[in-house]
């Protein structure tokens, strides 16, 4: 299905200028466009040309890439960002940029012909459906033992995620990244990241009466009755905006089932924060629907970067070779790892060390639901933005988000995404016969995560006289143990790189994303990815430029 054939693209009431102004996201020529034009054409006008030379090229526009772009631009460096996903700035036939979680369509999934929702079933019935193949916003990337969910588009994971913005306990951070000075992180870089991301906390007074957080209050009651620590969790959603949604004075997003496939309002994605500030410098250009496929030393110094420009059905429409003095790998843990193992194995970057591809983990993610009694309804109106968690990390190795099930009807279900201390680590390797990178993760390696999550939920079930739900993930499964939202590692700090993300073996190549973190962050990871990127880019600018 071509872009033109998609219903109503490029002819809607919201003006392009209005949307860009609202997000604060400006990109040189693009912002001057007087009315909506198809995303691909608009992006093309700013896209990098074949044969171009750039001082700094950033692969990917997620957290690590956005921090790098902003700080380099502020230091006076012209930055070219290359993003394989779309620039999400054009409404679809419903007048909205992003569809609801309950009604996925062509915008929802990355080059799939059938949706692969993390919750595949509702009341026992499968809910996945056929969709036109399109460069949609959420990639459910399948490896042999696990499906890795990732955001695709300008803004990376910030487009699709729940915005939970958690700074880990200091002792846990030190255990994860012992080579990093924790005083610096907690004194400077975590505060800088939290400020830059616009992290805030729900008003605890409002929380007590908000209908849309009944599910959290039930989660708290059950956690506390079983003796677990329950805690509010910060988020980048604009909490005042959510209050206005609840009061009926603002267009609903979190209270209208928007999450996973984008939020049209309320959530501060990177488009509203780091990327807006980067664009305001006038020194950052983004080429969307451009995928980096190779990086190798250039004859005259710097690096030759090969980029495939794709259309919205994923076909390559142009191949470009550009040179860059410095290249920042910020394609996410999976994207960066896949590129690096390929480049080492195929001889493009043979001097990368043997740590490349190693140390990958899934942050111990595992999901489950509990069936409550009829006297414990969780509410038919549920905010899509979680605001609380159950902390049993020290005793049981699990931190569980009390997550919403925004179905619009009462389900009597409590739903949780647990982050656990799963010790298993996998490795990416290049498979020459398939021309793809394989990941060695095995489904059975999730068992420690299940065991750790059970330290919380077995106890709650025993106390409440309740049982696990078996109708959410297909096959009567209690545990969703074949997915992760939090890929981490593959180019681990101080192993594949030096202690600041400089890749061993090459001058001017850097990793600056979740690939640096060795498989587990003990909490939701994007604040740590952002803070580490802030730390590393400051050092790189001070010493390398």
User: Which residues participate in catalysis according to the annotation?
Assistant: 401, 486
Q: Which stretch binds ligand FAE (CB under 6 A): 183-191, 374-382, 495-503, 521-529?
A: 521-529
Nearest Cα to Cα of residue 158 among 537, 527, 536: 527
Alpha-carbon torsion angle 247, 251, 253, 254, nearest 10? -10
Does residue 149 bind ligand FAE (CB under 6 A)? Answer: yes
Does residue 108 bind ligand FAE (CB under 6 A)? Answer: no
Cα 437 from Cα 143, distance rounded (Å): 9
- Bridge-based pairing state of the strands 413-420 and 366-371: antiparallel
- Using CB atoms within 10 Å of the CB of residue 119, give its burial: 0 to 12 exposed, 13 to 18 middle, 19+ buried: buried
> Measuring CA to CA, how many Å separate 193 from each of 229, 305, 315, 528, 533?
26, 29, 36, 8, 9
**Which position among 96, 291, 421, 480 is part of the footprint of ligand FAE (CB under 6 A)?**
291
Number of shown-chain residues binding ligand FAE (CB under 6 A): 39
Please answer whether residues 278 and 68 qualify as being in contact, where contact means their C-beta atoms are separated by less than 8 angstroms. Answer: no
Nearest Cα to Cα of residue 138 among 96, 104, 181: 104
Place of tokens 């059905």: 313
Residues 426 to 445: which contact ligand FAE by CB under 6 A?
Answer: none
Interior CA angle at 14 toward 13 and 19, to 5°?
Answer: 170
Q: Which stretch binds ligand FAE (CB under 6 A): 31-39, 40-48, 158-166, 175-183?
A: 158-166
Does residue 44 bind ligand FAE (CB under 6 A)? Answer: no
Does residue 332 bind ligand FAE (CB under 6 A)? Answer: yes
SS in 3 state form for 477-506?
A: CCCECCEECCCECCCCCCCCECCCCEECCC
**Which position among 331, 405, 413, 537 is part of the footprint of ligand FAE (CB under 6 A)?**
331
Cα 37 from Cα 371, distance rounded (Å): 48
Cα 464 from Cα 454, distance rounded (Å): 15
> Measuring CA to CA, how many Å separate 289 from each of 7, 13, 73, 133, 316?
20, 25, 22, 15, 10
**Which position among 42, 79, 164, 390 is part of the footprint of ligand FAE (CB under 6 A)?**
164
β-strand partners of 396: none
> Residues, the chain, total?
545
CB of 220 to ligand FAE, least distance (A): 19
Does residue 388 bind ligand FAE (CB under 6 A)? Answer: no
Helix pair angle (526-544, 63-74), 10° resolution: 30
Q: Which stretch binds ligand FAE (CB under 6 A): 18-26, 27-35, 160-168, 222-230?
A: 160-168
Does residue 403 bind ligand FAE (CB under 6 A)? Answer: no
CB of 260 to ligand FAE, least distance (A): 5
CB of 84 to ligand FAE, least distance (A): 4
Q: Which stretch binds ligand FAE (CB under 6 A): 24-32, 193-201, 502-510, 522-530?
A: 522-530
Does residue 260 bind ligand FAE (CB under 6 A)? Answer: yes
CB of 464 to ligand FAE, least distance (A): 26
**Which position among 91, 99, 162, 397 is part of the footprint of ligand FAE (CB under 6 A)?**
162
Cα 402 from Cα 420, distance rounded (Å): 14
Please answer whether residues 465 and 458 qualify as being in contact, where contact means their C-beta atoms are separated by less than 8 angstroms. Answer: no
CB nearer to ligand FAE: pick between 48 and 164: 164
Residue 379 has φ and ψ, to the nearest 5°, of: 100, 140
Cα 438 from Cα 342, distance rounded (Å): 10
Does residue 359 bind ligand FAE (CB under 6 A)? Answer: no
Tokens of 222: 């059950």
CB of 291 to ligand FAE, least distance (A): 4
CB nearer to ligand FAE: pick between 63 and 303: 63
Does residue 236 bind ligand FAE (CB under 6 A)? Answer: no
Residues 45 to 104: which contact ligand FAE by CB under 6 A?
Answer: 59-65, 82-85
Does residue 497 bind ligand FAE (CB under 6 A)? Answer: no
Does residue 150 bind ligand FAE (CB under 6 A)? Answer: yes
CB nearer to ligand FAE: pick between 10 and 153: 153
CB of 249 to ligand FAE, least distance (A): 26
CB of 360 to ligand FAE, least distance (A): 12
Place of tokens 């899934």: 362
CB nearer to ligand FAE: pick between 101 and 464: 101
Does residue 292 bind ligand FAE (CB under 6 A)? Answer: yes
- Using CB atoms within 10 Å of the CB of residue 402, give its burial: 0 to 12 exposed, 13 to 18 middle, 19+ buried: buried
**Which position among 10, 91, 104, 156 is part of the footprint of ligand FAE (CB under 6 A)?**
156
CB of 217 to ligand FAE, least distance (A): 20
- Bridge-based pairing state of the strands 428-431 and 284-287: unpaired
Tokens of 137: 């916003």
**Which position among 23, 161, 422, 536 is part of the footprint of ligand FAE (CB under 6 A)?**
161
Tokens of 428: 């990416």
Cα 491 from Cα 203, distance rounded (Å): 39
CB of 270 to ligand FAE, least distance (A): 8
Does residue 335 bind ligand FAE (CB under 6 A)? Answer: yes
- Contact residues for ligand FAE, defined by CB under 6 A: 59-65, 82-85, 149-152, 156-157, 160-164, 260, 291-292, 330-333, 335, 339, 485-486, 513-514, 524-526, 529
């Amino acid at each position: 299905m071509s872009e033109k054939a998609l219903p109503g693209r490029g002819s809607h009431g919201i003006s392009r200028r209005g949307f860009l102004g609202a997000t604060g996201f400006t990109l040189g020529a693009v912002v001057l466009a007087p009315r909506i034009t198809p995303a691909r054409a608009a992006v093309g006008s700013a896209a990098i040309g074949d044969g171009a030379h750039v001082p700094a090229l950033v692969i990917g526009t997620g957290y690590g890439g956005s921090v790098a772009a902003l700080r380099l631009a502020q230091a006076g460096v012209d930055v070219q960002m290359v993003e394989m996903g779309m620039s999400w700035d054009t409404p679809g036939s419903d007048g909205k940029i992003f569809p609801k979680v309950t009604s996925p369509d062509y915008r929802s999934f990355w080059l799939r012909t059938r949706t692969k929702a993390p919750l595949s079933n509702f009341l026992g019935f499968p809910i996945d459906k056929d969709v036109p193949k399109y460069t949609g916003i959420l990639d459910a990337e399948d490896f042999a033992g696990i499906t890795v969910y990732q955001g695709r588009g300008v803004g990376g994971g910030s487009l699709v995620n729940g915005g939970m913005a958690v700074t880990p306990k200091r002792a846990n951070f030190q255990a994860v990244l012992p080579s990093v000075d924790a005083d610096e992180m907690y004194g400077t870089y975590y505060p800088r990241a939290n400020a830059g991301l616009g992290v805030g906390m729900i008003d605890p007074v409002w929380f007590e009466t908000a209908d849309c957080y009944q599910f959290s209050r039930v989660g708290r009651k059950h956690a506390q009755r079983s003796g677990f620590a329950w805690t509010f969790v910060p988020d980048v959603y604009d909490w005042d905006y959510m209050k206005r949604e609840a009061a009926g004075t603002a267009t609903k997003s979190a209270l209208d089932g928007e999450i996973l496939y984008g939020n049209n309002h309320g959530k501060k994605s990177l488009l509203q924060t780091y990327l807006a500030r980067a664009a305001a410098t006038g020194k950052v250009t983004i080429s969307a629907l451009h995928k980096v496929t190779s990086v190798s030393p250039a004859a005259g110094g710097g690096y030759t970067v090969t980029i495939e420009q794709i259309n919205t059905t994923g076909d390559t429409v142009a191949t470009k070779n550009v040179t860059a003095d410095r290249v920042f790998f910020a394609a996410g843990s999976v994207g960066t790892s896949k590129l690096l193992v390929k480049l080492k194995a195929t001889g493009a970057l043979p001097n990368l060390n043997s740590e490349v591809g190693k140390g990958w983990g899934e942050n111990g993610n595992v999901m489950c639901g509990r069936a409550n009694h009829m006297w414990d309804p969780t509410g038919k109106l549920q905010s899509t933005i979680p605001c609380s968690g159950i902390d049993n990390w020290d005793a049981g190795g699990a931190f569980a988000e009390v997550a919403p099930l925004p179905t619009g009807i009462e389900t009597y279900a409590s739903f949780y995404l647990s982050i656990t201390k799963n010790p298993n680590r996998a490795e990416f390797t290049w498979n020459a016969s398939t021309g793809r990178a394989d990941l060695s993760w095995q489904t059975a390696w999730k068992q420690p995560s299940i065991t750790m999550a059970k330290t919380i939920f077995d106890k709650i079930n025993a106390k409440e006289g309740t049982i696990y739900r078996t109708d959410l993930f297909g096959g009567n499964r209690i545990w969703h143990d074949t997915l992760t939202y939090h890929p981490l590692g593959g180019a681990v700090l101080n192993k594949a790189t030096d202690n600041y993300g400089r890749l061993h073996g090459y001058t001017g190549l850097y990793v600056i994303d979740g690939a640096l973190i060795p498989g587990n962050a003990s909490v939701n990871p994007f604040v740590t990815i952002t803070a580490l990127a802030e730390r590393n880019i400051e050092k790189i600018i001070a010493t390398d430029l």
